[in-house]
Structure 1
Amino acid sequence: MFISPMLLATAPGPFSHSEFIFEPKVDGHRLIYSQQSGNVRLYTRHNNDCTRQYPELTLPFDSDIILDGEVACTDPETGLNDFEAVMSRFSTRQHSKIQQFIKTLPATFAIFDILQYKGHDLRKLPLIERKAILHGLHLPSNSFGVVPHIEGAGEDLYTQIETMGMEGVVGKRKDSQYVSRRSKDWMKVINWSYADVFIIGYKKAEFGWLAAVPDQSGKMSPVGIIEHGPSPKHKQAFRGVCQQLVTGEDKNHVYLEPRIQARVKMRSWTKSGLLRIPVFDQFIV
């Protein structure tokens, strides 16, 4: 049984509040774990069945249950969540490769909420009561874990997360009910990284600025597409300048001289040298 997950609003920055609990933001992908009549199914936040990809997470609990959390893989060198490893697991359908990944890229289900248990719908209970039930569960194996939380001290936790290079912090109102929509009762604070890039072109059909950075020889190396962040004034300013810098075009893009520089914030650099989810921050003049 799939339940559409509760989604996070974005806080303007780290905060502390006595009516909130705070937990580390797990860098993986959302997972709804459903056990009905002893049958376990796993779903992404968009109701895509991904049971096949994570056999180690299909072990049953002592009773029927629906849980919310994140699938994560750990980088053995850094001890941090490895988002690209999770995406490798998610995109793999071949049985033999999945079996190999169980050993080389084991997945963990980091649980942060319980929605149903033993035939009872728990979503209208206050979060802090759902957490108490969750922490009392017997987990099927060490592939399952409960996300820890603290009360009130969100800024202190964020400082620790920032120092460790983790993704961020989630603040949740203690008395919040579970609703299947985005809510300000749950707030994320992302530990952004920043980079300075050149805009070397743009998409024709939809908004998107092509970003690049100079390599060691000074040649521009593409690093991704900026699709979020600029205000209407930023876009207007870009349009006022870019037509003077056009060097060519193809079916999908217009290309520019690398004269416009911008600062972007992103989750991280990928292992292949691309910006992960770049968001425009400001022009550099």
Structure 2
Amino acid sequence: MTERGKRSMYLAPMLPVAGSAPFDDKRYIFEPRIDGQRLLLSMQNGLVHLFTRHGNEIAPRYPELHRVPIDDNSDVLLDGVVTCLNRDTGMTDYEALLDRSKCIKPMHIQEGVRQSPVHYFVFDILRYRGKDVRGKTLTERKTLLHKALTGNRYFSFIPGLPDHGVALYRALTAKGFGGIVAKRKSSPYVSRADDNWRSIVHYNYAIVQIAGYRKNQFGWLLKHRERIVGLLDGDVPSAYRNAFLGVSSILKLNEDRDYVYVRPDIEARVRFRRWTREGRLYAPELIDFVAP
């Protein structure tokens, strides 16, 4: 099939907007935030294509997802999240997924399937038996999805709890999940960010020191308990950048090809998703400087 043909099967996904806090509402279904990679799965006549949220075809990397548990091999388009599961805890393992996503050679892919099989958590259906169902309500699409898909060791449904977002958020974050997604039951599926879906992320917080900065592009090296724990390179307001820049020359210790290192006198409060297995902050964001 040509690239143009593959792209014709791809639809841009519906994206949630950021929500500030969990809530209860009878108009909503609340789902766990699965820590993984958003994937759309298209199957026509038994042939599977997997697309990232940006439309890149990556089906060869995940051969365990080529057998979709739909009895009649119907023409279908599914939306969900792929991740790896820790065999000991049963929790999602995003770092194992990152390792799998880098496997491109057939030998490495097969080894990845044996050592770290992926799992596809499905939460929506956009096409079934050749019919576009995006105009149906979320409740109707969920009913159709459960009718179409049976599930197996590599596929399952993302469970949803109606009405009660606060209790689900508390229960899931206590177990290490990254939050919840609130979805309005009456919402159609639209290929854009839409406030009918809200992502409510659970954050951790830490006080860190700025130990250096990147030379060629913005990025602050973060230090916590006497070791480097990450790089803050996201959206930092210009006022904070300029304040640090104003004192960085006074604090300078040394430099190498990529970084200038400074005395870690400036402290900041950051929020982040989780600690990685290497002991680094995943996706740190600046909240504010800490007053001396």
TM-score range for the pair, normalised by the shorter chain length: over 0.9
Paired residues of 2:103 and 2:112 also in contact (CA < 8 A): no
RMSD (Å), alpha carbons:
1.7
Task: Mark the runs of 5 or more structure 2 residues left unpaired by the alignment.
Answer: 1-8
- In the alignment, the residues of structure 1 paired with residue 27 and residue 233 of structure 2 have an alpha-carbon distance, to the nearest angstrom, of 35
- In the alignment, the residues of structure 1 paired with residue 42 and residue 101 of structure 2 have an alpha-carbon distance, to the nearest angstrom, of 18
Paired residues of 2:202 and 2:273 also in contact (CA < 8 A): yes
What amino acid maps onto 1:179 in structure 2?
Answer: V
Paired residues of 1:230 and 1:281 also in contact (CA < 8 A): no
2:82 alignment counterpart: 71
> In structure 1, which of residues 97, 101, 119 is the aligned counterpart of residue 108 of structure 2?
97
Residues paired across the two proteins, number: 280
> In structure 1, which of residues 167, 176, 188 is the aligned counterpart of residue 187 of structure 2?
176
1:88 alignment counterpart: 99
2:3 alignment counterpart: none
Paired residues of 1:199 and 1:261 also in contact (CA < 8 A): yes
2:82 aligned with 1:38: no
What amino acid maps onto 2:182 in structure 1?
Answer: G
Paired residues of 1:18 and 1:152 also in contact (CA < 8 A): yes
What amino acid maps onto 1:133 in structure 2?
Answer: L
> In structure 2, which of residues 206, 230, 241 is the aligned counterpart of residue 235 of structure 1?
241
2:281 aligned with 1:275: yes
2:215 aligned with 1:204: yes
Paired residues of 2:216 and 2:258 also in contact (CA < 8 A): yes
- In the alignment, the residues of structure 1 paired with residue 269 and residue 57 of structure 2 have an alpha-carbon distance, to the nearest angstrom, of 38
Change (3 A) 1:22 1:156: same
SS at match of 1:233: helix
- In the alignment, the residues of structure 1 paired with residue 23 and residue 233 of structure 2 have an alpha-carbon distance, to the nearest angstrom, of 28
Q: Which deviations, in whole Å up to 9, do the C-alpha atoms of 1:123-152 show, x marking residues without a partner?
A: 111111111111112336321101110111
- In the alignment, the residues of structure 2 paired with residue 43 and residue 139 of structure 1 have an alpha-carbon distance, to the nearest angstrom, of 21
Give me the identity figure in percent. Answer: 39
Q: Which deviations, in whole Å up to 9, do the C-alpha atoms of 1:6-43 show, x marking residues without a partner?
A: 11211111122221110001111011100123311111
1:218 alignment counterpart: none
* Residue 204 (structure 1) shift: 3.4
Paired residues of 1:17 and 1:152 also in contact (CA < 8 A): yes
- In the alignment, the residues of structure 1 paired with residue 284 and residue 17 of structure 2 have an alpha-carbon distance, to the nearest angstrom, of 18
* Residue 229 (structure 1) shift: 5.1
Paired residues of 1:69 and 1:109 also in contact (CA < 8 A): yes
Task: Mark the runs of 5 or more structure 1 residues left unpaired by the alignment.
Answer: 216-220
Q: Which deviations, in whole Å up to 9, do the C-alpha atoms of 1:89-144 show, x marking residues without a partner?
A: 11111222322222321211100000000011011111111111111123363211
